[in-house]
A and B are shown apart, each in its own frame.
Chain A
Amino acid sequence: MKTVKKRKATVDTAACVACGCCVKVCPKGAIAIYRGIRAEIDQENCIGCGKCAKECPASVITIREVQP
Chain B
Amino acid sequence: MKKQWYDYLWIFSAAYLILGFFNILFAWLGLLCFFIPLIISLTQGTKGYCNRYCGRGQLFSLLGGRFGLSRKRDIPGWMKSKAFRYGFLIFFFLMFFQMLWNTYLVFAGAQDLRQVVTLLWSFKLPWHWAYHGTLLHPGVAQFAFGFYSVMLTSTVLGLVTMVLFKPRSWCVYCPMGTMTQLICKAKNR
Contact = CB atoms under 8 A, between A and B. Distances in A.
A35 interface: yes
A11 interface: no
Main SS at interface, chain B: helix
Main SS at interface, chain A: loop
Of the four ranges (under 10, 10 to 19, 20 to 34, 35 or more), the interface on chain A belongs to: 20 to 34
Contacts of B75: 57-59
Given A35-B184, A36-B184, A57-B172, A20 B166 contact: no
B50 interface: yes
B166 A19 contact: no
A55 to B, nearest CB: 7
Interface of A: 15, 17-21, 23-24, 29, 33, 35-37, 54-60
The 4 closest A-B pairs by CB, nearest first: A36-B184, A20-B51, A36-B47, A19-B171
